Structure 1
Amino acid sequence: MSILSTLLDQWKAGIDAHDPAAVAKLFTDDAIFQGLHPYSIGPAGVAEYYASQPLGMRADYEILETRQLSDDLVLGYLEVAFSFVDRPTLKVFLSIIARRNDSGWQFDHYQVSKLG
């Protein structure tokens, strides 16, 4: 689905460039963000989370499932491989909800899970 691919490509570019502010701009003001640390609400928590990630971390993703929930909401389920310069790649699953608003499409919900 091109809506999610466009948004996720921007997310990946921000992570790969270690640009927490660019990643944070992709989230709504009230987005629920659950990485591998306690959750936060809104872009400030997203920026803080990604600022704490190691330099050289990169993200590669594969969209596994999508659902158009409404004209302004899209659900995505994907597999993400976070690679590092000094440790093994971390594979996780990511559930996202993208919402269209006055700023365009942004993440409204983001939840990572490690399975297996």
Structure 2
Amino acid sequence: MNHKAENEAILRGVLDRWRAAVDAHEPERVAANFTGDAIFQGLHPYTVGREGIAEYYDSQPLGMTAEYRILETRRLADDLVLGYLAVDFSFTDRPTISVNLSVLVTDWPHGGRITHYQVSKLD
């Protein structure tokens, strides 16, 4: 497997679990995909750790879903992959929000976790 494919597989392993939990509106399950000291920046003030992440996703409306595309990956260390993504958050009652997302994923093969999550909205 080449490095790009390997990096994408590592990212998808975590991001598919994250997306399934977001789509199911299960905030604690979303937060379980992050390290205990993860830095999280959504579209509200940043937080550190799973409790704040769970609170953020609990505040999201029911029916919100996420769809992502991996745009770029980089292996920063043996156990650290950077992912740069395009993500569409869809809602039942309002327009889709499209964002760019950078994540740092670490701690595999024990089921990778997101240690840094940074959303940017360009429009």
Over the aligned positions, Cα root-mean-square deviation in angstroms equals: 1.2
Equivalent pairs: percent with the same residue? 61
Kindly provide the amino acid, as one letter, of the partner of residue 90 in structure 1. Answer: I
> Which of the numbers 106, 117, 122 marks the counterpart of 1:115?
122
> Which of the numbers 92, 110, 116 marks the counterpart of 2:99?
92
CA offsets per residue over residues 5-41 of structure 1, 9 Å max, x none?
Answer: 1110000000000000100001111100000000000
TM-superposed CA distance for 1:104, in Å, is 3.1
Kindly provide the amino acid, as one letter, of the partner of residue 55 in structure 2. Answer: E
Partner of 1:9: 16
> Which of the numbers 34, 39, 46 marks the counterpart of 2:41?
34
| Structure 2 gaps, min length 5 | 1-7
Give the TM-score normalised by the residue count of structure 2. Answer: 0.91
2:31 aligned with 1:24, yes or no? yes
Runs of at least 4 residues off by over 2 Å: 101-104
Give the TM-score normalised by the residue count of structure 1. Answer: 0.96
Kindly provide the amino acid, as one letter, of the partner of residue 28 in structure 2. Answer: A
| Structure 1 gaps, min length 5 | none
Partner of 2:5: none
TM-superposed CA distance for 1:101, in Å, is 5.9
Aligned residue pairs total: 116
More strand by share: 1
2:43 aligned with 1:43, yes or no? no
CA distance 1:104–1:93, shift in 2 (3 Å)? same
